[in-house]
Structure 1
């Protein structure tokens, strides 16, 4: 599943949000620490680790009035002769909560890849939370392509989070990735600039840890996946298991 990072634009495994649990630094400041182990690191439906496990860590400093900033990292593996083995993301944003059911998250996110800076890119994002639903948009105009030029890209998703019996949590998400140019090449001469991806995630807290299993898939064909990401199975359906902890 080796492939360059064209158009993937890693979406944070845990989008920056004010935490339910955090280390209180003062009356106004708190620090959230997020750690996770996953059987595969997928973002926007595409594997970033060739189907191998990933270890991830995030730090978010928040102010009680809403502003926050942080950093997040994960191991990656794009194979071939690509030297980077790490993704480093930096973000700054503002979280406004209208009430217990409605909130808005606005921010800027920079993705960087040590030793392979040609993959670096950035997004501005907006996430609306309302009564269990999430509507999000990530937009960047500096995405690298195999043409050697930068282009714009818009990723949007709609998600729903629900509490199930026995304290299980369900998350369902459907996303759309829209590139400026028709970069997704099929086995023939057909091209398109958009693909869709989706996830169904079931989680449960046990012994102080957040355990989850996800089903993830895209509508990219095996040929489109091969032509754009280097391997046929980088975009195919998979089950991802994870365990996480927030402090």
Structure 2
């Protein structure tokens, strides 16, 4: 049961970004379908595919007002019967000033055959000058209805040859002391980080990132059932938006 609770205390996949390429339906509506094969589905630095590859499919409908609605699906494998994650989201993204943009989004997560871990959360962020500060909150983490708060800072910086440097640093607060060390001490929070590069080639986004957390192998095994899925790794992906 502790393992189930942890799976729902990690940060979600989403960082609010509206698609650059999309199908124009009319003057106000655009539809974007993004397909992303990735070597490992890492959420908050933890693998939700037991270190194996995943395929992301995201469909987003955006309005000229900044409102959007969408559906995201991927395969998962984290010790329960479910092998699929389905996310339904709705939100709005608007410029607040010439240089600052704000977004808010509501996401509902569903895991077929393992509905005990279904949950929802609110996500808000502010972006300016390449930096994005975002916060995520859920108050119905099952099976005990626990609260969970995630905060993170992302930063992107353009480099020569159309390469983009990307970095991320986040903290997950599960409220309860679910991370237990070998010496018996426990804590309610952990940190994750990422450093990577991306590049546009042939109309696709190619990305390679180094991902890690500060969880020990004992803490990882205690909440994930596998001491290897919280360790440092390199994640590679390629995305195509239609």
Q: Provide TM-score, normalisation by structure 1.
A: 0.93
Written as runs of structure 1 = structure 2, the 5 A alignment for 1:69-218 is 69-79=69-79, 82-98=80-96, 101-144=99-142, 148-218=143-213
Q: Distance in 2 between matches of 1:165 and 1:103?
A: 25
Structure 2 residue matching 1:51: 3-state secondary structure? coil
| Pairwise CA distance, 1:8 | 3.8
| Pairwise CA distance, 1:99 | 5.1
Structure 2 residue matching 1:228: 3-state secondary structure? helix
Q: Distance in 1 between matches of 2:201 and 2:159?
A: 15
| Pairwise CA distance, 1:17 | 2.5
| Pairwise CA distance, 1:136 | 0.2
Root-mean-square deviation (CA, aligned residues, Å) is: 1.4
| Pairwise CA distance, 1:207 | 1.7
Structure 2 residue matching 1:134: 3-state secondary structure? strand
Q: Distance in 2 between matches of 1:135 and 1:16?
A: 11
* Structure 2 unmatched ranges of 5 or more: none
- 8 Å CA contact 1:176, 1:196 repeated in 2: yes
Q: Distance in 2 between matches of 1:137 and 1:10?
A: 9
* Structure 1 unmatched ranges of 5 or more: none
- CA offsets, 1:41-97, max 9 Å, x none? 001000010110000100111110111111101100123xx2210000111101102
- 8 Å CA contact 1:6, 1:143 repeated in 2: no
Aligned residue-pair number: 239
* Structure 2 residue aligned with 1:32: 32
Relative to 1, partners in 2 of residues 1:43 and 1:246: Cα closer, same or farther, differing over 3 Å? Answer: same
* Structure 2 residue aligned with 1:45: 45
